[in-house]
């Protein structure tokens, strides 16, 4: 009986350590990406999730927190989502837009050499992109302080969701690497030849 109680307390201690580490990870991840655009936040969070200090976080804790964040996100409306995808919260994002427009211009040049009508189609796609960005920024722009706080909360939750996905993916890759290493040590897997050297 005492042995089972020790095991339960050890498990609870490890879980609480994992949960505390996960909360620290999420707090730092959200504060780091607060003013980032969507693309910048993905890059920042990918790099941040790869740090070895997060290896002690349990995948079950990450999964539970993802479900909790998804449940909270259901309470937000379309306006908050449009504000996020229009990058209203992120401030200036001209570099991303300029890059995309440069790609569209290059595609128009290539399309014009193939067929002049094709370049008109690419130009139409470029105009649709600009129109969608403008519409999302206009419609999604917060008009009142309450809407601004709602948009900020949604952006923080969205960045938390992205951070959790990146962490979960990274933890899974590390677990798979450990399994392969253990299989190599046990002689059940040979790099380049597969299982049992076949």
pTM of the predicted structure, to 2 decimals: 0.63
From first to last of the 198 residues of the chain, give the pLDDT tens digit. 333 333 444 445 555 888 899 999 999 999 998 878 788 888 999 999 999 898 889 989 999 999 999 999 888 888 777 777 776 444 445 556 666 667 777 777 777 778 777 777 777 777 777 776 666 566 556 555 556 667 788 888 999 999 999 999 999 998 888 888 888 788 776 666 655 544
91: left (phi over 0), alpha (psi -120 to 50) or beta: left
Whether residue 86 contacts residue 140, with contact meaning beta carbons closer than 8 Å, is answered with yes
Dig out the tokens for 61 from the structure.
């804790």
Task: Name the residue among 167, 164, 144, 168 with its Cα closest to residue 156.
Answer: 164
**DSSP 8-state code for residue 115:** -
Residue 186 CA to residue 33 CA, distance in Å, equals 43
Q: For the residues of 7-71, what is the DSSP string, one character each?
A: HHHHHHHHHHHHHHHHHHHHHHHHHHTTT--HHHHHHHHHHHHT-GGGTTS-HHHHHHHHHHHHH
Contact call for residues 182 and 65 (beta carbons, < 8 A): no
pLDDT of residue 118: 75
From CA 149, how far away is CA 147, in angstroms rounded?
A: 5
């Amino acid at each position: 009986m005492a042995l089972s109680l020790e095991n339960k307390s050890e498990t609870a201690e490890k879980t609480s350590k994992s949960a505390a580490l996960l909360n620290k990870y999420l707090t730092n991840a959200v504060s780091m990406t607060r003013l980032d655009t969507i693309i910048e936040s993905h890059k920042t969070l990918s790099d941040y999730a790869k740090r070895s200090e997060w290896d002690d976080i349990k995948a079950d804790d990450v999964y539970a927190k993802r479900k909790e964040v998804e449940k909270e996100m259901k309470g937000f409306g379309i306006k908050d989502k449009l504000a996020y995808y229009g990058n209203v919260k992120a401030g200036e994002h001209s570099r991303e837009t300029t890059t995309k427009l440069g790609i569209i211009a290059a595609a128009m040049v290539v399309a014009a050499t193939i067929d002049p009508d094709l370049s008109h189609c690419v130009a139409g796609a470029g105009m649709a992109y600009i129109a969608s960005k403008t519409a999302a920024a206009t419609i999604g722009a917060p008009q009142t302080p309450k809407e601004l706080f709602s948009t900020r909360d949604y952006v923080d939750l969205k960045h938390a969701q992205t951070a959790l996905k990146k962490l979960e993916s990274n933890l899974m890759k590390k677990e798979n690497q450990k399994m392969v290493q253990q299989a190599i040590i046990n002689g059940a897997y040979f790099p380049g030849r597969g299982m049992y050297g076949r």
